[in-house]
């Protein structure tokens, strides 16, 4: 049976913790669809298209990892692509409450939807988008926390914003 899991998120920026969940996810599921969420109300550093392109650069020609985007409810996207599995990564205990609430809400909206929680390996549990952005903005290197392409593009964006 072909098991397809959606790994949704804003991925702003995409981190080594995200890669960790995806690489482990493809060992459990045949395909992991990295579904970049577009929230009109959420201010992101990268545009939706930039986030999609960055992730595609990180997983070129992968048959197990697909990159897509969606707007609106995750349950509608899951129905549209024909899967009922959501993969979610958790870094810390504080993530659990939010993730649990979202899983229950999604299950209420789409009773067939199953959420699988995967705990990020400890080497990545401290990584957050706000931490990464602060390190880059203050001139530091986040090369141990994000892929090189992400650091390069993030540095360009954040430093350009500072100059303006």
Known active-site residue 79 = no
pLDDT at 164: 53
Give me the residue spans of the domains in the chain. Answer: 4-126
**Residue 41: per-residue pLDDT:** 77
Specify the pLDDT at position 146.
Answer: 96
**pLDDT tens readout for residues 38-77:** 987 778 999 999 999 999 999 998 999 999 999 999 999 9
Cis bond upstream, residue 81 (ω within 30): no
Q: Give pLDDT, residue 94.
A: 85
pLDDT for res 160: 74
Please pick, among 51, 66, 88, 129, the residue that the annotation labels catalytic.
129
Q: Given this model, what pLDDT does residue 162 score?
A: 64
Catalytic residue among 27, 42, 43, 160: 42
Q: Is 91 an annotated catalytic residue?
A: yes
d(C-alpha 72, C-alpha 67), whole Å? 17
Flag residues of the chain having pLDDT under 50.
none
Residue 87, token pair as written in the block: 């993969």
Domain over 4-126 is classified CATH 3.20.20.70: no
Q: Which of 18, 51, 66, 153 is catalytic?
A: 18
Nearest to 112 by CA among 159, 156, 78, 153: 78
The reply to whether 133 belongs to the active site is no
pTM above 0.85, yes or no: yes
pLDDT score for 163: 63
Catalytic residue among 51, 66, 88, 91: 91
């Amino acid at each position: 049976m072909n098991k397809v899991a959606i790994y949704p998120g804003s991925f702003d920026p995409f981190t080594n913790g995200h890669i960790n969940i995806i690489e482990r996810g493809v060992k459990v599921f045949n395909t992991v669809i990295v579904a970049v969420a577009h929230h009109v109300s959420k201010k992101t550093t990268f545009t939706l298209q930039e986030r999609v392109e960055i992730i595609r650069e990180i997983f070129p020609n992968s048959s197990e990892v697909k990159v897509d985007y969606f707007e609106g409810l995750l349950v509608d996207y899951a129905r549209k692509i024909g899967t009922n599995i959501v993969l979610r990564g958790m870094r810390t205990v504080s993530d659990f409450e939010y993730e649990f609430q979202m899983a229950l809400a999604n299950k209420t909206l789409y009773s067939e939807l199953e959420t699988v929680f995967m705990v990020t390996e400890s080497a990545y549990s401290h990584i957050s988008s706000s931490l990464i952005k602060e390190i880059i903005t203050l001139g530091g290197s986040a090369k141990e926390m994000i892929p090189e392409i992400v650091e390069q593009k993030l540095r360009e964006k954040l430093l350009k914003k500072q100059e303006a």
